[in-house]
Amino acid sequence: MPETARLYLELWVSLASLLRSYTAVHGLNGDRQATVELGEERITVRYAEKWLDLQRCGERVNWLRENGQSGVLELTEAGRLRSKDDPRSPKARDLHPSNQDLSLGTRDLGYLEGEEMDMAAEAWARELMHES
């Protein structure tokens, strides 16, 4: 396995671990628990009727929610997630996660560096575990 492919796989496993940790933390007060399933190219997180499906191909990550929200992110070698679209473009602004309920915190120039994986995982966990 090439070095970069191994790196992205390790980052992927780390992202799943972060999602497990943050969903557990968000479930403590309400005695709630989410399930996190990990594969080399897919992470699925479920809590009640809510779910998040992440699919990876190399560094590219497609995410999909139960409500139809979706987006494309990219894992960086620095361990960040960044939008594949420039959020300043009109089309990208409509699709960019920071403009949807599920925010990765990437704002304006943030798309250049991306969002730390732990912050992204925490935002996803908070959104999934929040009782509506």
What is the domain partition of the chain in residue ranges? Answer: 3-129
Determine which helix (DSSP H) or strand (DSSP E) holds 13, and give its type and residue range.
Answer: helix 3-27
Residue from 75, 50, 51, 49 nearest 62 by CA: 75
Residue from 124, 130, 129, 4 nearest 53 by CA: 124
Cβ atoms 51, 63 nearer than 8 A: no
pLDDT in tens, 53-97: 999 999 999 999 999 999 999 999 999 999 876 454 334 344 444
Residue 20's region, left for phi above 0, alpha for psi from -120 to 50, else beta, is alpha
Pick the CATH number of 3-129 from 3.40.50, 2.40.50, 1.10.3470, 3.30.920: 3.30.920
| Percent with pLDDT over 90 in the chain | 66
Q: Do the strands 50-57 and 42-47 form a parallel or antiparallel pair, or are they unpaired?
A: antiparallel
